[in-house]
Amino acid sequence: MTAPACYWEDSVRIRQLEYFLEVCACGSITQASAKLNVAQPALGMQLRSLEQELGTKLLKRTARGTVATAAGQVCLEEARIILNRVRLLKQRLKEMEAAETSTVRLGLTPSMATLMTGRLLETIGAGAVPINVQIFEEFSHILMSRVERGELDIALAFSVPEGTRLSCEPLLQEELTLIMAPGTEFDVAKPIAFRDLVDIPVVMPSERDFLRQLINEALRREDLSLNILYQVESMRAMKDLILRGRACGILPYGNVVGEVSADHLRTRRIIDPPLTRTLYFIWPAGIDFGRKERIVVSALRELLPNLFEEVATFSPLPALDKATGRVP
């Protein structure tokens, strides 16, 4: 049979050490019994059990009352250390539990993480309620899977497909842009028609990525195909290839905002037709937001108008389809 967790060295209980300390502090089993609210016979039995387990006499009666023997003095010192460690352990576990209950696990796509993380944490940090926001950066299809598995509380994901087992709310639309290194033949200061993308070597994410699926669907509608030189499942690797001039990319502006600001990369709008995708709040189906989740969602909503002003590729949603509640 497995020993209870409250045992020390398999048989000495924490409670027995507490009783022993109280008897030594009171100098009397009778007084300790009253203070501990434990019947005197039961207290005596626990003390004898402790002595038997340690194999030595810990207490002795004298004219001054019940006092610790020499071995009892050693036990007294060690018991104080043990009980203090137990007290600190309990405190740490309580603090950990409190931190976990005030933590929100938020998933962001790479582009949204670049644009929103700093301002989101500042906004929440300035609030009255302390909330620890853990941010996880992944592609949309990975964020969806993690929300479904309960690994994330909320996420911002693009192009959530119909029929998903998630609750979702559309927030805004974003245009994709053509990204290239400065000085390449494709670095032209004018928009590019969608049909002209077929002449440009590009790097793309894998087929399972929602961004790739969005582009593929647009290509099928126009009966076109791209010149795909590289397929990688890493935004960093994609940008590195573009920076080196090895290929162009069809990406959200938010993924390259830093490189564009430093003039390390250039962008061109895609038109006729533009490539747009919808950003959604997603969360586990059937789950109502608690207070901490509502605070994070409120902070995210507060930041959305700034995106419309600062990033030309973002725009408010068109009228939603009344039947589906989705963007047509």
Q: Are 158 and 279 contacting, i.e. CB atoms less than 8 angstroms apart?
A: yes
Please say if the pLDDT value at position 141 is more than 50.
yes
Integer Rg of the chain from CA: 32
pLDDT the model gives residue 98: 60
Average pLDDT over residues 187-209: 92
- Tokens 């974003």 belong to 174
Compute the distance between CA of residue 41 and CA of residue 48 in angstroms, rounded to an integer. Answer: 11
Burial class of residue 27 in the structure, from the number of CB atoms within 10 Å of its CB (0-12 exposed, 13-18 middle, 19+ buried): middle
The count of other CB atoms within 10 Å of the CB of residue 320 is 13
Least confident of 89-103, 127-141, 228-242, 270-284: 89-103
| Residue 38 pLDDT greater than 70, yes or no | yes
User: For the domain 103-315, what is the CATH code?
Assistant: 3.40.190.290
Tell me the mean pLDDT in the region 8-31.
83
Q: How far out from the chain centre does Cα 165 lie?
A: 20
Question: Does the structure show a pLDDT above 60 at 324?
Answer: no
CB atoms within 10 A of CB 304: 14
Domain 7-100 belongs to what topology?
Answer: Arc Repressor Mutant, subunit A (1.10.10)
pLDDT (mean) for 224-246: 93
Q: What is the pLDDT of residue 91?
A: 78
Share of the chain above pLDDT 90, in %: 46
User: What burial letters (b/e) apply to 106-125, b meaning 16+ CB within 10 Å?
Assistant: bbbbbbbbbbbeeebeebbe
Locate 98 and state its tokens: 């409190």
Residue type for 133, please? V
> What's the chain look like in SS3?
CCCCCCEECCCEEHHHHHHHHHHHHHCCHHHHHHHHCCCHHHHHHHHHHHHHHHCCCCEEEECCEEEECHHHHHHHHHHHHHHHHHHHHHHHHHHHHHHHHCEEEEEECHHHHHHHHHHHHHHHHCCCCCCEEEEEECCHHHHHHHHHCCCCCEEEEECCCCCCCEEEEEEEEEEEEEEECCCCCCCCCCCEEHHHHHHCEEEECCCCCHHHHHHHHHHHHHCCCCEEEEECCCHHHHHHHHHCCCCEEEEEHHHHHHHHHCCCCEEEEEECCCCEEEEEEEEECCCCCCHHHHHHHHHHHHHHHHHHHHCCCEECCCCCCCCCCCCC
> Tell me: the pLDDT tens digits for 90-112?
877 876 666 555 788 999 998 88
pLDDT at position 10 is 46
From CA 266, how far away is CA 269, in angstroms rounded?
A: 10
Q: What is the dihedral of CA 133, 134, 137, 138, to 10 degrees?
A: -110
* pLDDT 10s digits, 44-58: 999 999 999 999 999
Q: Taking 60 as the threshold, does the pLDDT of residue 11 lie above it?
A: no
User: Which pLDDT score is estimated for 97?
Assistant: 65
- The residue written with tokens 């069809």 in the block is 250
pLDDT score of 328 = 43
Residue 326 banded pLDDT, cuts 50, 70, 90: very low
pLDDT band with cut points at 50, 70 and 90 for residue 304: confident
Q: What is the pLDDT of residues 142-196, one digit of tens each?
A: 999 999 888 999 999 987 877 777 888 888 888 899 999 999 999 998 999 999 9
pLDDT digits (tens, 9 = 90+) for 78-89: 999 998 888 888
Amino acid residing at 58: L
Residue ranges of domains in the chain: 7-100, 103-315
Distance CA(72)–CA(78), nearest Å, equals 10
pTM: 0.60
* Residue 151 token pair: 């690994």
Per the CB < 8 A criterion, the answer to whether 104 and 283 are in contact is no
